[in-house]
Structure 1
Amino acid sequence: MKRHAGMLLSSIRIDKGSDRRISVQLYMALRELMLTGGLAPGDRLPATRTLASEIGVSRTTVIDAVDRLISEGLLISRVGAGTYVSEALHAQRPLAPAHKEPDATTLAPRLSHAATHAAADFAVRKRLPHQSKAFTTALPALDAFPMAQWARLSARHWRGGRDEVTGYGEACGHPRLRAAIARQINASRGIKCEPEQVFIVNGAQQGFNLISSLLVNPGETVWFENPGAIGARNAFIATGAMLAPIPIDQEGLCVAEGLARAPHFRLAFVTPSHQQPLGHTMSLARRLALLKAAKDADAMIVEDDYDGEFYYGDQPPPTLKSIDTQERVIYVGTFSKSLFPALRLGFVLAPSGLVEAFNRIYRTWLSGAPTASQAMVADFMDEGLFATHIRTMRQLYRKRHDMLMSATERLKGRIDLQPTSSGFHAVGLLAPELDEEKIVAAALAEGIVTAPLGRYGLTKLRQKGLVLGYGSCGQDEIEKGVEVLEKIVSNPRLICSDKALWEEQ
């Protein structure tokens, strides 16, 4: 990228009371910047007149310092083009010092309880790759996103008025986007609400953190699905919540088990439309039981509907929010799955009784999401492009789901893929003797990304399995990924648990 005016060199300080000549001070300061990385080979210096003005010296002084650096080969002057740092600087720059461990006398700042205990409390594991390949989880079909239409909306937005385009915008969210979301979730998810109840966040993760900060005091209990969503789990832990792991069965969260373990809970977190990660849909009986339990405990419920738009079964289940008559459900949605993750946009639908509290938080310390992204998503929804995209993706994900189900037939008995009716991931349950961590490591060595089911557990899970994402991979990648898994699980000495190998011998 061309820098027309050259680098900003505001860090240079000239001591006019020093015995050392000013031109020498400037020469040494520029040389130090080049040798320590502040100026890289190819960087352009400001014009001598500009630099003299910025650091408060005469132009003659600047010319003297620059000429000396040119004579040493550290700078190159190009007639009509300016003065640049020489590529030869690579040879003169000293090697970066090796990383030094802090010694015993180094004073480390005192950390918060959450940060101090992060390794023990948070779900800290090596971050999974997020490339469009088999079987990356949580990644939509980026290749199918209508980029040309998005580019058109982007260009139109940036031609708008300067105040709207470059200003701070509304903290609670772009008014048109809030209205568009309210219409969309009414029509597609059966949730009746006003735009004023919709609050835009920088991704669902910020929404969970905000909700926990608003409603949960440190040490209070939150019912949490086990296994469950890692990002939400860490958001609640970060604010000091005590998570009570509640098991999941085919009907969803086991409410009776939750009441037995922690009857006095403050909040419950659930993914009823497509349980993360098992994929179950919460039954109506369990939904009603959860709403009653929340009423009896004077608790609230967070409904994470992270991929509910992509239901491709016979009949989509109602959202928990749509049958909530007590105003106890806080509904959270995201555009990371429905559009693309880089947007970092989500929303929180607050019950009427919490609207003023959310408004107060946004007015006082929450700055809001980027206006440009919000405006473009609003246009995308208002022009009907969002609805068209969702319909297209439903068909695509159903097709890829069926491809994966068909391809994994030959793995039955070792990896049993569980069918799902929503989203773009499925769980393959493993035979008891197989070791999920070893399979994950062996698959990654072959370029295939899988996630161990144990990764999602608050406590150790009885069932072992793999979470396989199919949203971002086509038929060829699915076939190749299944072939790799078949080769791996056919080698018991590679992926069986140590106990299984001992019993085999």
Structure 2
Amino acid sequence: MRRILIRPFGSILDLHVAIGGRGDRADRIYRQLRDAVLDGRLRRGERLPATRELAERLQVSRSTVSTAYERLTAEGYLAARVGAGTFVAYAGASGGPLPAPRRAAAQPTQAWRDLDDPLWVESRPIAYDFSIGSPDPALFPLETWRTSVAAELRAGFVRNSSYSDPAGVERLREAIARHLGVARSVEAGPDDVLVTSGAQQAFDLLARVALQPGDTVAVEDPGYPPVRQLFEMAGARVVPVPVDEHGLRVDLLPPARLVYVTPSHQFPLGGILPLERRVALLEWAARHDAVVIEDDYDSEYRFGSRPLDPLQRLDADGRVVYVGTFSKTMLPALRLGFVIAPPAILSALRHAKRLTDWHNETVTQRAMARLLDTGAFARHVRAATRVYEERHAVLVRAAGELLPELELVPSAAGLHVALLEPGQPAGRTGVGAGLDARRVAERAGVAGVAFLPVSRFRRGHGPDGILLGFGGIPAAHIPDGLRTLAEAIGREQVRDSGDRVR
């Protein structure tokens, strides 16, 4: 059997054609070209090879190819143009999706089939976007980034394009260590740093090297769902631990192999873990021989006093793994994160990184290092912080005026705030009594307001509420957005009251 690839004229597509064995060769060519047209591999307007050329490549007679072309032309799949050639004429699948596979025998495990995504949704234009988790792309230092990338491409990219260190480009690791030492008092050198594809890959690598199926992992509740899901898919027993206005309730931690915590800005409520709890957490880790993952996901944006030193700074036993990301300060699309880990864990992480994707793309790493080295990154963060500080102030003030029944959780960092339903006496009605934030989100969405309910991040019982991000909404639009949200809450109250009367 002979198989060749044909490249339609003007196309970047190589089309596989197999011929050989017994049977009508013209029919085989016909069926394969027809299928390629129907499923969109050959698109309308693409030119096919001449019959003589294709016959030579397939090592068949020209009449065999001509018979297949003539049949396809008669059925409307192809069209012949005198002096120009033969082109795809059928447009039924042009630009459309490939057809569903005929068989579905290969299936993932039940756990993967049941997995949902509580955070990510397809982005769409919306009038008042209070979504959380992303910075304002309009603040991205595009010209500086373009200059940095261009400089690295000119600096011998092709000559230095072989496989790189799984831990990351040394220049970036040095720059990250310096930046964290100055900005966050993290104690680290370049040999303590591993560059990842965002923070989520860091958590995945840590699950690979620190956990065995059946191990217990403690996570904050409410907390970050993708981390919880990742540990569950790794076979761990995940135990949600309540948080309060100060962060993780360390006194409620069970014996565990690993604990995940966001001490500088608890996600999603915003509390800051006080020093006494930080010390207690490290003592707990020592008693249980546990690993502590410190996720410092957005501490660069602070609108008050300097934050407490990270857990990593207080750790004298080498139990804390510090995870950070550039997704909030630059763009999530860059997929740049990092891990600061004790030597034994870092060595294992380096092997795990090599076995999963070897290393991050090097031009992006070098360009990021250039921004850190030249001070451009620090200038960008300072400028962005001023913008976000204004939005934070406007949001806090407007929420107090327009949503007075909800309690604002104090927060002086990050890109979102949380408003919770307060404790209510039995029988009292109001916005804060039995708030169903998911239903409010649906109603508000119709009115052009996007936000996430606290309940989507909670596994146990606790007050519901709303999370309002200000990374993607201008300060001038915030009051109108909250006014629209307040109206949606009011309509939901009326509906609830009517349901109770009936």
Common fold by TM > 0.5: yes
Q: Which residue of 2 aligns with 1:283?
A: 274
Q: Which residue of 2 aligns with 1:487?
A: 487
Cα deviation, residue 226, structure 1: 0.8
Whole-angstrom CA distance in 2 between matches of 1:365 and 1:279: 33
Q: Which residue of 2 aligns with 1:75?
A: 78
Q: Which residue of 1 aligns with 2:20?
A: 15
Q: Which residue of 2 aligns with 1:168?
A: 163
Q: Which residue of 1 aligns with 2:445?
A: 444
Q: Which residue of 2 aligns with 1:251?
A: 246
- 1:34 is paired with a residue whose SS is helix
1:309 paired with 2:312, answer no
Q: Is the 8 A contact 1:251 1:286 kept in 2?
A: no
Whole-angstrom CA distance in 2 between matches of 1:404 and 1:15: 70
Cα deviation, residue 288, structure 1: 0.7
Whole-angstrom CA distance in 1 between matches of 2:93 and 2:481: 48
1:361 paired with 2:359, answer no
1:327 paired with 2:318, answer yes
Corresponding pairs, count: 483
Change (3 A) 1:324 1:201: same
Whole-angstrom CA distance in 2 between matches of 1:387 and 1:179: 16
Q: Deviations over 1:49-71 (max 9, x none)?
A: 76456544467765675566557
Cα deviation, residue 16, structure 1: 6.3
Whole-angstrom CA distance in 1 between matches of 2:62 and 2:117: 56
Select 1:219's aligned residue among 195, 214, 221: 214
Q: Which amino acid aligns with 2:240?
A: P
Change (3 A) 1:190 1:40: same
Whole-angstrom CA distance in 2 between matches of 1:179 and 1:107: 48
Cα deviation, residue 492, structure 1: 4.4
Change (3 A) 1:31 1:97: closer
Q: Which residue of 2 aligns with 1:40?
A: 43
Select 2:150's aligned residue among 155, 161, 173: 155
Q: Which residue of 1 aligns with 2:260?
A: 269
Whole-angstrom CA distance in 2 between matches of 1:465 and 1:107: 41
Change (3 A) 1:219 1:466: same
Gaps of 5+ in 1: none
1:343 paired with 2:334, answer yes
Whole-angstrom CA distance in 2 between matches of 1:363 and 1:458: 34
Q: Which amino acid aligns with 1:204?
A: A
Q: Is the 8 A contact 1:134 1:477 kept in 2?
A: no
Change (3 A) 1:492 1:77: closer
1:455 paired with 2:456, answer yes
1:179 paired with 2:174, answer yes
- 2:450 is paired with a residue whose SS is coil
Q: Which amino acid aligns with 1:115?
A: W
Whole-angstrom CA distance in 2 between matches of 1:77 and 1:502: 67
- 1:246 is paired with a residue whose SS is strand
Q: Deviations over 1:333-358 (max 9, x none)?
A: 11111110111221111112322222
Change (3 A) 1:4 1:25: closer
Q: Which residue of 1 aligns with 2:367?
A: 376
1:209 paired with 2:204, answer yes
- 2:364 is paired with a residue whose SS is helix
Whole-angstrom CA distance in 2 between matches of 1:287 and 1:382: 32
Q: Deviations over 1:118-140 (max 9, x none)?
A: 45xxx654744545752011010
Q: Is the 8 A contact 1:189 1:322 kept in 2?
A: no
Q: Deviations over 1:346-372 (max 9, x none)?
A: 111111232222233234444222223
Q: Which residue of 1 aligns with 2:112?
A: 115
Cα deviation, residue 480, structure 1: 2.7
- 1:13 is paired with a residue whose SS is strand
Q: Which residue of 1 aligns with 2:235?
A: 240
Q: Is the 8 A contact 2:444 2:485 kept in 1?
A: yes
Q: Is the 8 A contact 2:39 2:99 kept in 1?
A: no
Q: Deviations over 1:390-448 (max 9, x none)?
A: 11111111111011112222234333333411111001123124321111111111221
Cα deviation, residue 28, structure 1: 4.4
- What is the Cα-based RMSD across aligned positions, in Å? 3.2
- 2:293 is paired with a residue whose SS is strand
Q: Which amino acid aligns with 2:471?
A: G
Q: Which residue of 2 aligns with 1:84?
A: 87
